[in-house]
Structures are given as C-alpha cells and as structure tokens.
C-alpha cells in the first residue's frame, strides 16, 4: 500500500532517532527545564534572530494552538481565522472548549486578506458581541498554500490597526519556507507575529512543536498555562533533544524541501497526465481532481484522503508527501494514473 | 551529581528504544488508529482480564487525568480526592480548568477511607452544592503508599452506595503492584474502578499512559474528548509500540520491582544509619527525616526534592528511585549519611 | 424622543406590577421552590398540554440559552444555528464560554432549512470535528420572521434523522404565535422541540424566561446547572408571580398581538409612503429601507437601531414595537417620513 | 408558620416597590445604560468616596461572584477563601465552572487571618501548583461574623505583600456596617478591597447587587464579561431604580440595622432561656444550640435551616432576621422555647 495520506505516518528521521539514543541514559530534570531544551531554545533564538523570544516545547499541534490562544486571550476575546484553518475544523472545538469563539472567514485558497479582517471588525461593534482579538493563520495553509512577505506584512498592519494579535500556526512552516515562490526566512517571521510555532511532528521528528512567544505581554506565567492544559511533558528533554537535532545543520529545511520536491514531482506528473487541481500546487499538500472511477481504483492501492466531490463525476483528493517520501513512491503513483 | 529526584529523569529502557527503532520506518495511520496501538490494547485487555475494556493511549499524566475526569462528569459534578492527590496539588488546577471542583479530603498517609467519603456526601445535600460524583485515588500514592485489595473493595462499595464513580491514577501502579505487602494483580483492578490508567512515563518509557475505561457509559465518543483536550498524538503509533514492548514479557513489572528494590535498599540503609521517615517506606518514594545540616550537605551532591520542615531542626526530603537506579548509586548515597 | 429601539424599554404591564405588589409581603421559600413558581409552572404545563414537562424560570435570555445548551450537551458537542441567531452574534460568546462551538449557517431570512443541516452533518465526519448535536432556532427570528408548523416539523424530522436535539429560543414567541400567517399554538411546540423557552422580558414582564424541558434525558439535576451558571434567583417567587399573571387570562397573547398590530400599522404606513423593506414585515421587528438623509433626520427624534448600509445611498433600520407602543406613537413616526 | 430561614423571603421594601411603580412607564435604554443606573452609580460613588470607581449592577450574588472573579483572574490563578465562604460551598462550583480553583482555608468563625494566607503562599511554590491570586472574604460572614477595620487592613497588607487581589462579598454588608462592634463605614471599604459588592437581594430589594471595581486593571471590557456570563439584565434600569431608592436617605443602613436589632432581641431571649450558641451572635444570622427534641418541635412551627449536629443530643440551627422581621415574630419564637 502506497502511503500519501499525511506527513506523520513514519517515525522520525534517523538523525533524530540517533540523537534520542545518544542522550537516552543521561539524567535530566523534568518538564522542559534541562540543558537539551535550553540548547534547542538557544538555537531557535539564533535562527529567528530574536534573543528576547520565549521558547516553549509542546507535544502536539492542537495542544499548542489551544494552550497558546487560551493563554493570550481574556475570556470575551475571539479569534479570527480562515474557515479552512486547523483550529476551525480539525481540532474538535479545542479552542471553544477553552471558552473562546472562532470567527470563521470564508476562503477559497486557505488564506485570509486584510479587507476580510476589516469587515469582521466593523460587524463586532460593542460588548454584545465577542471582541475579536487574535488573527490565526497557518503557513503553509491547510490547502497547501503559502503567504508572501508582503501579504504577511499587510495582515500584520491590519492587525495593528485594530489592536489584534497575530498568531501563525507553523505545523508545516518548513514546507512554506522552502516552497517555490517563498520570499520569507525564519528571521522574517518575528516581525509578522506576536507568537508562532515551528512544527516538528509533520516534519520528521517523533512529536513536538516549538512555540515562540515574541509579545512581551504573553510571556508571564506561560508555564503555568502549559502545565494546566496538560501540555507539559515530564521528560521534556525529549523535545529539546529532537529540536536541537532538527534545527542544527538545517535538517529542518532539508526535510521540508524534500517533501516539497516530492510533491512537485507528483503534481508535474499529474499535470502531464492531463488532470487539474482543486488548489494550486505549492507545497507538500496537493489536491488533484480525478474521475470518480480513478479515485475508486486508487483507493485500492494508495492511502489518501478525499477532499471535495463535484457534480460532474469527478472528485478532488488530498495527496501529501513528507521527508520520508521516495521518488520511487511518486513513480509508483504516477504509473497508476 | 546523584539523581534521586524523580522517576522520569532518564529516557526509556533500552528495550523500549529498540522497539521504537525497529518500527521507525513503517507507515502507520495517525491518532492511535494503527496496528501497534491495537496490539498494545489487546495485550492490556488480556493482562487485566477484560476484553470489553476500552483502551486509549495518552501522552502524559495530567493530560490523562483531566481528559478522563472531564469526559466522565457533567458540569455540576465534583471529584473527591485525598488532599495529597496529584490532581489536588501538582496539576496547576487542570481539573478545575475543565470546570470541576475537587473536594479535598485530609490525609496523613496519602490514602482516603470510606468514612471520609460518607462525611463528604452528608455535607453535600442539595443543588446549592456541587454534586460529588467521582472518587480519585492514586495507587501507589504520592506519599509512596499502597492500597490493599480489602481497602479498594471497601472504597468501591462506599462509592457504589453513594452513586460515585471510582478512578485510579496509576502513574506508579507498577510500583504498587510489585511492592512488599501488595495483594493485588492487574486482573483485580477492573473490579475496583470504573476507569484507571497504567502509567508508562514514570516506569521506563519515553512518555505515555494507557487509560482503561471499564464503565460502559464512559465509552461513547471518548476519542472526541481526547482530541478536544489536546491529548491525541499524531504519531499515536509511538504509544502503541512502547506499551506493547512494556507489557509483553512483563518488562513493566520488572522495572516497577527494580525501582522498589532500590528504594528498599535505600530505606534500609537510612534506617540503619539511625534516621526515621515521615512516611512509612513502601514503594519507590521514600521520605527520610534528616537534620537540616545533613540536608544542606546532600543538596550539594544529590538531586532531590524537599518535603516538610520541622521545628526541631530537621526536615524530611523525598527520594525517588526508578527502573534506571543502580545499586552503586544507592551505596553512593548511603555513604554520604 | 420616540422609542422604537426594542421591546424592553418600559417596566412591566400594569397587571404584572399589580401581581408583584399584591404578593410582596408574603413569605416564600427561595430559589424557585415556592407556590408561585409551582402555580405558574402548572399553568404553563396546561397551556402547552404537557404535564410531564419540567419548567424552570430564569432571569434573562442569554442566561437561559447558555444554561440550557451547556446542560444538554457533552463537551465535544456543538450547536447548529442560523448565523443571525441571538447566540451567534448578540451574546458575547456566552455559549462558547461554556465550551461549545456554534456552527453558523448562512441565512437571508433568519431561518434555517433541513438541507442546510444535512450539509453540516456530511462535513462533520469524525472525531477530529466537533459533533453537531443541537439545533438552535428562534421563533420569531431576530429578523422578525416566523416558522410554519410544516417547517418546524421538517426541521424536527431532520434533527431526528441525525440524532440532533431541537431547542427553540422563544424570546419573542408571543409575537410568533400571534403573527399573521402563524399556524402554530403553544400546544404544538412540544412536538417540535426537546426544549424551548417562553420569553417574558420582551413581552411585558420585568424580567424572566420560562424554560420548558421536554426531553427526559435533560431533566436530571438541571437545578444544579441553573445554580452553577448564576441563573437561580434568590427571590425566585418574583418569576413565578409574573409568569402566573402573564399566562393566565392570556395577557401573554394579548401583549404579543398588540406589538404585532402596532408593527403592522407601522409597516403599512411605511409601504404607503413608498418605502421598501430589507426583511418581509411579519412580527414586531421591521426593517424599512430609507434614504440616508431620512435616517439622519429620524435619528434626531426616534430611538432605533441601524441594520444594513447599502451602496446606493440608502440604509435599512430596525424598528421594534412592544406591548406598550401606542397608535399615537406610530402616527408620530409616520408623520416624520 | 414563622419564617426565620433567610433574609430574602419577602418581596421588596415598600419604598423600593414605590420607586419601581413610579418609573414603570418611562422608556429607558437597555442593559444598564440608562439614567437610573447612572444615578444609582453616582450615589454609590459618593457614599464610598470614590468618584473613580466603576459600578456595575448584577442580578444575583452567585452571578456577581463568578462574573467578577472570572473577569479578574487569568486561567491559572486561584482564589483563597475561608472554607465557609459562599463561593466554597453554596454556589454549586460556579467559580470552578469558570475554570478557577478555590483554595479552602479552615475556619471556626467564618473569617480568615493573615498567617493562613502566608501558609498558602509558601505551599504554592511553582508552576505545578495553581497561582493564588485573589483573596475572597465576606463581610458579614456566612457565620454572621464581622471584620474590624484593623483586621481588614492586616489582610490587605498581607495580600499586597503576596501580590494578591482582595475581593469582598458584601451580600450582607449592610448588616456588617450596622452591627454592634463595627468600626467601618462604606467610605473605608475601598481602601481594603480591589473590588467588592453591596448586596441588595438580602437587604430589601427585589434583586440586585452593586459591584464596585476599584482596581484600574479590572475595569477594561468588564461589560463584555458581564454579558458573556449572562449577568446583563435587558431592563437594567430596574437595578438602577432600586439601588437609587436603596442608597439615598440611607434606607440601606436602616434595613440592615433593623435586621440586626431583631437578631439581637432574638439572641438575648435565647440566652435568657439558657441556651448557648455555635457562633457568637453578631449580625442577623444566629446559631443557637438546642436539644434535638426542641429542634423537632420548632420545625413544626418555624421555617429555619439546620447547622450542625452534636453527639450530646443537641443541634445548632440557623435563624435569620431581615428588614421585614417584626418584634411580634421574635416574641412568638421566644415563646416557643
């Protein structure tokens, strides 16, 4: 069975496993207070060019989103997000479970634009409405798309105008930063966000996300909130060890680039075979449109997820490549279509 | 520096690491729906003698407690717990953050007794009070103590009388079940609890707890709640792989027994050296009472936590042994006192 | 200043005040356990034809919605509601503050239709999504519209098919049941809802809503939840006294009909003056479209709320009549346009 | 049946009813933005000597406590309260339902003392514990006791030392300020509290509490939180009208003093009859100890609540007087014992 369902179907990159093995029998203090986490945090601070950042390591993406957002907002404050955002649809209401409304904004391409934020702000006029206070975006998006520097800058300016915080879900930031057409680096991100996270789970480590807090007012007591939401790992060192191995020598970018490259081979092949896409292929999530019969055939040999069904007998599906996808696997898939 | 601060200062037992390595490059579906988790669940069902149990793997203890308890209770229902319970003091109010009050019951030995539950129930008489609905206990307790079968049976009967659920925090269940004086087996536990968890984090795996749900009414939709609270791991297979390796061939019991044996050597040595204990030594947490000067000396060479300070110039400290503690380390400590 | 801003700008109907005066110096037990509440509940049970209903009196609408919905749902369950619903926009996220997501469904007329529910259900396919579990509708709607019996029946059937509960916000139910074109009576409602409330605040009493619980599974311990959410009034008797006076001799319907009649005079006059409406006038909320200059003029002499602004130099405004609106006031307004 | 069960068994003082009648047919804007609320707020600001205070009117005590406390704290912060506090026992976990733990402190007399706060602070040492952040006290207490100015000052200083806010539940503040031995005035309170409320429900109005916010950092967006928790009354004017009538001409103090005077007559008579008290009689809640046979007799003719049962065949009961209690009622009771 060919596996193109997601980017977390394997364990970790061998270099990550090696780092875990090597440090396995070293005693370390618990809950993220150890030299491995310190080292990883230091490396990240250098990579983003912000020594003043607070770095916290969490185990998973939903956990990171809900812990961060609930920590940053007061109870009456709401999140604005494009309706395809992970927090909108794929987190079983985790944000709302902490008490905060998400205001869904319609999107075709997975992105949100400044004028949509303006509209939300006009509508929410007084204390009978929730108070929109934080913009949530993902880069790359859940539709495989990326933001340009100019787009992020415009969003940040709009947020500033309205007194909104900006938070970037970087579950697949590695793929965004290594995509064709990308004009951003890790060092650019801090100027566009009050907080963001560098995703590890979907880019080759066993588990873990590095939350980067830039806004001074978010820093106080964050570890209390981390613990309270269940996001503090007893053997926190595991996250430190992995992120250190991930970030140094740029394994992080290498894996992101590889996933993109495999996706690119895949989408080129699909294009050549005469098929179109529901979303423009940009990063490691691609959404080809196939006749339903072909989809049915593929289901027998490939693991993937459906996307949309159309009335003309076709459907789009979601194909995902990762650091572990091989050229042979791509060829194998292209041979099927 | 000698490390006797807790039982999660190392990585994982080599056999666990080996199992992770071996399965690292196998594709598996996400979020706990994979053959590794299935296998581990099947093994656990056999070990506890209950094919009808639902098994869910979570990443950490606080996460398990808060997810389970919030899933089992309606909003007005409260937890009864001995005041030393992990949820009472060491989880930064995680249970209350899900909306539920914990009714603290005084304890000297870390355990709760039936008549204390009766008293709580008399006091909570109508809808102006929270409705006590779940008894939380830990075995072994946070004071290193264990429950006998007779004690658990009496608690279960008292709970039944009052319509209370029983939940056992098994973070250190391995140590309880291998302690001197223990008369319980894994197969006994289901008859004393509506749900309990088998702790992995504190017994030699990288991270993970196996939540066992026995009460039929708790089973429906539990995975929604797991996801919503941030407790679903993308690479859930990591938990399955580890728990399979932990439970088969009884590595689980072997490690628990080793931790207890090391603690026993330690407490015997301390006794011989003429010191007393704040809590009777039973499992891998021991609480010797030392003169403050000795404590100050120890702090230079040993990592441990303080427990209580007394007016007579002495203090009790908490020493913890684990699957990874060596006899040499014990000797090294005993040489210091 | 003419007051057409809402239907809660006066105190209470004189008969309500009289009932309060008359019972003022009678001792009664607190928190809704008194003969006045019992009497009012009995009257309501007769009016709705359901002796088995549980009736609870609350102080306000947002309070009723949030207490009821949070009591009926488990944490992972969500509400489906038309996007104009009171809980969606005008309750400052009160529902989300209890942990539940609201799935907003687009609407032009303030109503929701079965096929929209079907679509929501298809989209929410597994435990990574919230679980839609309750349909929230308002009758009359926040746009002044009403549901027919056939529409409510179709919604109820759709809900049944999907295992959804139905909850009707009856803040302005009196106006719905006395509107032209209405084919429903109080006795019909229980067959279309698992719970609904009869609004008092917007229909001539000082404050209060009567929540009617029909679904057996919602009844247990509801008073605990009422108390916990702050919705239990110490002098609960005040709500009983008022609802008894409201429901007996049909003062309830009389006031609703009066509000509608005044709105009808108003909309007829506006139509005659040549203006159109943003929503078809049905009950006591009407939404005429005026040139912006006229709106500016009106603002000097009339209290009302804006609705929408259009690009052609016109705006719609919201005019609301109540039990206390007089024909003279209507004439006064019509003279202005 | 004689009614000595609580201080909210009647409607409102005739002057309050009169004020409501007089303003009944005046149009006013909703949700507390009206001239009546403005007027009442102004009067209160003068009485407490603080023009900078923010005043909000809520409907009920539990609602006030939960709305205020949840507004003031971040999610990981906890409340310290004497274990007899209303929020600890009689609010069905309303505070915890907003996510905050209450740390119960043992008490015999219903009061808390500085050294008890010190102890709590020592115990809560890091981010694995909740962070104590607000002291909750009631004046008069749920045991009928009062604080002196010196006691409040000492508590405030202790709070300042630990960075704790102070919040005073003034449900029965009128009785505290008119009690024998009281050395406080309304003007003193602001210096001892970051926020407190003046209770109306238990002192002769239909319903309502006036929350007074003094701490600048609590003021922002409070109305959002008021609305979100269901505590905003559509006809907010009712609260303004009542508080204006209550506070002007000192009806507030008159009623509190009357309740105390009736309680004093009662306790004097009970003392003369040879009985003792479980709590020293100070305000309008008294707790005489009677033989169980006498209690059984009284239950047939008097409405009251039980307090404690003792092993020697006696019980204490709770007797409550109010603004509406008459000397004849006291005599009637005394004749029974």
Mutation target for C interface from A101, A123, A125, A229: give the one with most C CBs within 10 A.
Answer: A101
Contact B232 A62 (CB under 8 A): yes
Among B234, B250, B266, the domain-final residue is B250
Could you tell me where the beta strands, DSSP code E, fall in chain D? Answer: 2-3, 54-58, 77-82, 102-105, 131-138, 165-169, 195-199, 209-213, 285-286, 289-291, 302-303, 305-309, 314-320
Task: Answer yes or no: do C42 and C104 share one domain.
Answer: yes
Task: Answer yes or no: do D115 and D153 share one domain.
Answer: yes
Least Cα separation, residue D99 to chain A (angstroms):
9
Which residues from A are below 8 Å from C when comparing CB atoms?
A: 75-76, 78, 89-93, 96-102, 104, 127-130
pLDDT at D249: 87
Tell me, rounded to whole angstroms, the distance of Cα A64 from its chain centroid: 11
Parallel, antiparallel or unpaired: strands C165-169 and A305-309: unpaired
Task: Answer yes or no: do C282 and C205 share one domain.
Answer: no
Which residues from D are below 8 Å from B when comparing CB atoms?
A: 75-76, 78, 89-93, 96-102, 104, 127-130
Task: Answer yes or no: do A270 and A175 share one domain.
Answer: no
Report the chain A residue with the minimal C-alpha distance to residue D232.
A128
Chain C residues whose CB is inside 8 A of the A75 CB are 97
Tell me, rounded to whole angstroms, the distance of Cα D151 from its chain centroid: 17
Task: Answer yes or no: do C240 and C296 share one domain.
Answer: no
pLDDT at B42: 98
Contact C96 A101 (CB under 8 A): yes
Q: How far apart are CA B122 and CA B117, in angstroms?
A: 9
Closest CB to D75 among A70, A76, A131: A70
CATH number for the domain including B312? 3.90.1150.10
Closest CB to C93 among A90, A91, A130: A130
Determine if residue A165 is left, alpha or beta; phi over 0 gives left, psi from -120 to 50 gives alpha, anything else beta.
beta
Tell me: pLDDT of B249 over 90. no
Mutation target for B interface from A27, A36, A205, A233: give the one with most B CBs within 10 A.
Answer: A27
D45-75 per-residue burial string, b: 16 or more CB within 10 A, e: under 16: bebbebeebbbbbbbbbbbbbbbbbbbbbbb
Contact C207 D235 (CB under 8 A): yes
Q: Which two tokens stand for residue B101?
A: 């009050």
Task: Answer yes or no: do B112 and B42 share one domain.
Answer: yes
pLDDT in tens, B262-289: 999 999 999 999 999 999 999 999 999 9
Contact C93 A104 (CB under 8 A): no
As a residue count, chain C comes to: 337
Sequential DSSP letters for B175-216:
HHHTSTT----TTTGGGG-SEEEEE-GGGTSSS-EEEEE--H
Q: What is the dihedral of CA C61, C64, C65, C67, to 10 degrees?
A: 150
CATH number for the domain including C210? 3.40.640.10
Chain D residues whose CB is inside 8 A of the B127 CB are 92
Q: Are A182 and A211 in contact (CB under 8 A)?
A: no
Three-state secondary structure readout of chain C? CEECCCCCCCCCCHHHHHHHHHHCCCCCCCCCCCHHHHHHHHHHHHHHCCCCCEEEEECCHHHHHHHHHHHHCCCCEEEEEECCCHHHHCCCCHHHHCCCCEEEECCCCCCCCHHHHHHHHHHCCCCCCCEEEEEEEECCCCCCCCCCHHHHHHHHHHHHHHCCEEEEECCCHHHHHCCCCCCCCCCCHHHHCCEEEEECHHHCCCCCEEEEECCHHHCCCHHHHHHHCCCCCCCCHHHHHHHHHHHHHHHHHHHHHHHHHHHHHHHHHHHHCCCEECCCCCCCEECEEEEHHHHHHHHHHEECEEEEECCCCEEEEEEECCCCCCHHHHHHHHHHC
Cβ-Cβ contacts under 8 Å for D177 (sequence gap 6 or more): D184, D185, D186, D253, D256
As a residue count, chain A comes to: 337
Closest CB to B227 among C70, C127, C228: C127
Chain A residues whose CB is inside 8 A of the C75 CB are 97
pLDDT at A249: 87
Closest CB to B76 among C31, C99, C221: C221
Task: Answer yes or no: do C285 and C313 share one domain.
Answer: yes
Q: Are B247 and B43 in contact (CB under 8 A)?
A: yes
pTM of the predicted model as reported, rounded to 2 decimal places? 0.97
pLDDT at D141: 98
Q: How far apart are CA D233 and CA C230, in angstroms?
A: 13
Q: How far apart are CA C74 and CA B296, in angstroms?
A: 51
User: Nearest Cα to C129, choosing from B73, B223, A107, A307?
Assistant: B223
The tokens 């409340």 sit on which residue?
D79
Contact A127 D70 (CB under 8 A): no
Could you tell me where the beta strands, DSSP code E, fall in B150-304? Answer: 165-169, 195-199, 209-213, 285-286, 289-291, 302-303
Contact A130 C76 (CB under 8 A): no
Q: Are C142 and C84 in contact (CB under 8 A)?
A: yes
Least Cα separation, residue D100 to chain A (angstroms):
11
- Tally of CB atoms within 10 A around D312: 8
Q: Are C286 and C207 in contact (CB under 8 A)?
A: no
Task: Answer yes or no: do D74 and D124 share one domain.
Answer: yes
Cβ-Cβ contacts under 8 Å for A260 (sequence gap 6 or more): A175, A178, A179, A180, A283, A284, A321
Chain B residues whose CB is inside 8 A of the C70 CB are 75
Q: Are D122 and D153 in contact (CB under 8 A)?
A: no
Contact A131 D74 (CB under 8 A): no
Q: How far apart are CA D21 and CA C12, in angstroms?
A: 9
- Tally of CB atoms within 10 A around D216: 10
Cβ-Cβ contacts under 8 Å for D167 (sequence gap 6 or more): D68, D69, D72, D134, D135, D136, D137, D193, D194, D195, D196
Tell me, rounded to whole angstroms, the distance of Cα A152 from its chain centroid: 15
Contact B232 A5 (CB under 8 A): no
Report the chain B residue with the minimal C-alpha distance to residue C73.
B74
Report the chain A residue with the minimal C-alpha distance to residue D67.
A75
Task: Answer yes or no: do A56 and A115 share one domain.
Answer: yes
Task: Answer yes or no: do C20 and C123 share one domain.
Answer: yes
The secondary element (H helix, E strand) that includes residue B320 is strand B314-320
- Tally of CB atoms within 10 A around D27: 18
CA triplet B209, B215, B220: central angle to 5 degrees? 85
Q: Reduced to 3 states, what is the DSSP secondary structure of residue B170?
A: coil
Containing domain of residue B280, as a range? 2-7+251-336
Task: Answer yes or no: do B233 and B84 share one domain.
Answer: yes
Least Cα separation, residue C216 to chain D (angstroms):
23
Contact A128 C91 (CB under 8 A): yes
Number of folded domains in chain A?
2
Which residues from C are below 8 Å from B when comparing CB atoms?
A: 31, 70-71, 74-76, 98-99, 127-128, 130-131, 221, 223-228
Could you tell me where the beta strands, DSSP code E, fall in D159-229? Answer: 165-169, 195-199, 209-213
Residue D122 phi, psi dihedral angles, 5° rounding:
-65, -40
Chain A residues whose CB is inside 8 A of the D225 CB are 74-76
pLDDT at B175: 98
- Positions of chain D with pLDDT under 50: none
Q: Which ranges of A84-128 would DSSP assign to H, the alpha helix?
A: 86-89, 94-97, 114-123
pLDDT at B253: 98
Chain C residues whose CB is inside 8 A of the B99 CB are 99
Mutation target for C interface from A93, A104, A142: give the one with most C CBs within 10 A.
Answer: A93
Closest CB to C78 among A90, A93, A129: A93
Chain C residues whose CB is inside 8 A of the A92 CB are 76, 127-130
pLDDT at C271: 98
Among A189, A220, A250, the domain-final residue is A250
Contact D70 A74 (CB under 8 A): no
Task: Answer yes or no: do B157 and B306 share one domain.
Answer: no
Which residues from B are below 8 Å from C when comparing CB atoms?
A: 31, 70-71, 74-76, 98-99, 127-128, 130-131, 221, 223-228
Chain B residues whose CB is inside 8 A of the D101 CB are 93, 96, 102
Contact C221 B127 (CB under 8 A): yes
Q: What is the rounded average pLDDT for all residues in chain B?
A: 98
The secondary element (H helix, E strand) that includes residue A177 is helix A173-177
Tell me: pLDDT of C249 over 90. no
pLDDT in tens, B28-61: 999 999 999 999 999 999 999 999 999 999 999 9
Among D223, D250, D277, the domain-final residue is D250
ipTM exceeding the 0.95 mark: yes
What does each of the 337 residues of chain A score in pLDDT, given as a tens digit? 999 999 999 999 999 999 999 999 999 999 999 999 999 999 999 999 999 999 999 999 999 999 999 999 999 999 999 999 999 999 999 999 999 999 999 999 999 999 999 999 999 999 999 999 999 999 999 999 999 999 999 999 999 999 999 999 999 999 999 999 999 999 999 999 999 999 999 999 999 999 999 999 999 999 999 999 999 999 999 999 999 999 988 999 999 999 999 999 999 999 999 999 999 999 999 999 999 999 999 999 999 999 999 999 999 999 999 999 999 999 999 999 9
């Amino acid at each position: 069975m060919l596996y193109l369902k997601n980017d977390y179907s394997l364990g970790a990159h061998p270099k990550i496993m090696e780092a875990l093995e090597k440090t396995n029998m070293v005693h370390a203090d618990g809950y993220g207070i150890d030299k491995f986490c310190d080292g990883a945090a230091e490396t990240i601070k250098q990579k983003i060019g912000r020594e003043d950042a607070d770095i916290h390591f969490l185990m998973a993406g939903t956990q990171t989103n809900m812990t961060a957002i609930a920590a940053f907002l007061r109870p009456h404050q709401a999140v604005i997000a494009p309706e395809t955002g992970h927090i909108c649809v794929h987190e079983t209401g985790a944000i709302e479970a902490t008490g905060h409304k998400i205001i869904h904004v319609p999107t075709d391409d997975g992105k949100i634009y400044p004028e949509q934020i303006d509209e939300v702000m006009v509508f929410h006029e007084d204390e009978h409405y929730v108070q929109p206070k934080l913009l949530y975006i993902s880069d790359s998006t859940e539709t495989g798309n990326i933001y340009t520097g100019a787009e992020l800058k415009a969003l940040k300016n709009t947020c500033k105008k309205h007194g909104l915080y900006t938070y970037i879900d970087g579950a697949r930031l590695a793929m965004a930063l290594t995509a064709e057409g990308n004009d951003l680096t890790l060092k650019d991100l801090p100027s566009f966000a009050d907080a963001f996270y560098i995703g590890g789970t979907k880019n080759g480590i066993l588990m873990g996300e590095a939350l980067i807090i830039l806004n001074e007012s978010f820093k106080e007591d964050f570890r209390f909130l981390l613990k309270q939401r269940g996001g503090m790992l007893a053997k926190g060192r595991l996250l430190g060890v992995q992120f250190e191995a991930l970030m140094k020598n740029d394994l992080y970018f290498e894996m992101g680039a590889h996933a993109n490259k495999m996706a690119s081979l895949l989408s080129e092949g699909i294009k050549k075979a005469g098929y179109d896409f529901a979303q423009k292929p940009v990063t490691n999530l691609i959404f080809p449109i196939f006749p339903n019969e072909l989809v049915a055939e593929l289901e027998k040999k490939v693991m993937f997820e459906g996307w949309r069904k159309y009335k003309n007998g076709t459907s789009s599906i979601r194909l995902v490549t990762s650091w572990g996808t091989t050229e042979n696997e791509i060829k194998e898939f292209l041979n099927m279509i």
